[in-house]
């Protein structure tokens, strides 16, 4: 149980295009999902907290117009990187908070984004 | 503000031996959760163990156990009978019991297991 999927796992795009990453909780409902960014050999950096049916809360320094987050249902959140540039290349990880039981965050497998 | 510190960037352990990874944190709250996550080369974050601050008993999960010292704000992870598959980055994380539920992660410890 408590499986989180991400799609796509790998994406290469041209500079200036937009990329959408999906995060799904497969066997549980998640009112809260989190989006992280991880640079090589570094820890996870929280970008935003996504609550179902409301606007995301962004961490300081994260451009909300660049990283659009939509949490339309209890099992799906999306992150759209708009007008991507090479510096947006990174590993993006989502997690979902289980609202029953242990209330642990379960993580997706991550999406590797390369902007050319 | 809460902080989480992992002072060991890298550790090595011989297969079948025991290793302890350290984690300290700073908080003014009395109730919170602590976690250890493993990130193998696949980069999938895997929950290893969790501890509720109000529980004095140290959490254990098979070969993994913690030494939770609340007064000292210390939360170390002990891996017994280390296996090659334990090689990974290990992250310690802190979470408040309510509010935003977001984690504060440490910088991680890379564990190497030597055959």
Answer yes or no: are the C-beta atoms of A108 and A93 closer than 8 Å.
yes
Residue A1 pLDDT class (50, 70, 90 cuts):
low
Facing B44 at nearest CB: one of A49, A97, A107: A107
Q: How far apart are CA A46 and CA A64, in angstroms?
A: 13
Closest-CA distance, B5 to chain A, in angstroms, reads 12
> What percent of chain A clears pLDDT 90, i.e. is strictly above it?
72
Q: How far apart are CA A9 and CA A96, in angstroms?
A: 17
Measured CA angle at B86 (ends A108, B51), to 5 deg: 65
Q: How far apart are CA B34 and CA B69, in angstroms?
A: 12
Give the pLDDT of residue A97: 87
- Residue partners of A60: CB distance under 8 A and separation at least 6: none
Longest Cα–Cα distance of chain B, Å, equals 44
Give the pLDDT of residue A52: 84
Residue B64, chain A, CB below 8 Å: the answer is no
Q: How far apart are CA B16 and CA B14, in angstroms?
A: 6
Residue A103 pLDDT class (50, 70, 90 cuts):
low
DSSP string for residues in chain B: --EEE---SEEEEETTS-EEE--EEE-S-S--EEEEEEE-TT---EEEEEEETT--SPPEETTEEEEEETTTTEEEEEE-S--GGG-EEEEEEEE-SSTT--EEE---EEEEEE-
Give the pLDDT of residue A77: 94
Q: How far apart are CA A41 and CA A37, in angstroms?
A: 12
The stretches in chain B having pLDDT less than 50 are none
Lowest mean pLDDT among A22-36, A53-67, A99-113, B43-57: A99-113
Give the pLDDT of residue A100: 67
Give the pLDDT of residue A41: 85
Answer yes or no: are the C-beta atoms of A99 and A29 closer than 8 Å.
yes
Minimal-distance CA residue of chain B relative to A42: B107
Give the pLDDT of residue A98: 79
Closest-CA distance, B9 to chain A, in angstroms, reads 10
Measured CA angle at A34 (ends A29, A39), to 5 deg: 140
Q: What is the pLDDT of residues A5-38, one digit of tens each?
A: 999 999 999 999 999 999 999 988 888 899 999 9
Give the pLDDT of residue B66: 97
CB contact under 8 A, A104 and B91: no
Give the pLDDT of residue B57: 92
Facing A43 at nearest CB: one of B42, B44, B108: B108
Q: What is the pLDDT of residues A29-51, one digit of tens each?
A: 888 899 999 988 889 999 999 98
Q: How far apart are CA A36 and CA A23, in angstroms?
A: 12
Query: For chain A, what is the mean pLDDT?
Result: 92
């Amino acid at each position: 149980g408590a499986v989180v999927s991400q799609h796509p796992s790998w994406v290469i795009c041209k500079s200036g295009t937009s990329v959408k990453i999906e995060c799904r909780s497969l066997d549980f409902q998640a009112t809260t999902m989190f989006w992280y960014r991880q640079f090589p050999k570094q820890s996870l950096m929280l970008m935003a907290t996504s609550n179902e049916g409301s606007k995301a809360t962004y961490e300081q320094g994260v451009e909300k117009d660049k990283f659009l987050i939509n949490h339309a249902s209890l099992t799906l959140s999306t992150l759209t990187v708009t007008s991507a540039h090479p510096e947006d290349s990174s590993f993006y990880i989502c997690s979902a908070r289980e609202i029953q039981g242990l209330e642990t965050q379960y993580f997706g497998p991550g999406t590797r984004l390369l902007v050319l | 503000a809460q902080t989480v510190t992992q002072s060991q960037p890298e550790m090595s352990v011989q297969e079948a031996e025991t290793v302890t990874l350290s984690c300290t944190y700073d908080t003014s709250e009395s109730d919170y959760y602590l976690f250890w996550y493993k990130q193998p080369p696949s980069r999938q974050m895997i929950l290893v163990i969790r501890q509720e601050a109000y529980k004095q008993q140290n959490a254990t999960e098979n070969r993994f156990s913690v030494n939770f010292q609340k007064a000292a704000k210390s939360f170390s992870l002990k891996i017994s009978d280390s296996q090659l598959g334990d090689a990974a980055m290990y992250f310690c994380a802190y979470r408040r019991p309510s509010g935003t539920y977001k984690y504060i992660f440490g910088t991680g410890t890379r564990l190497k297991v030597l055959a």
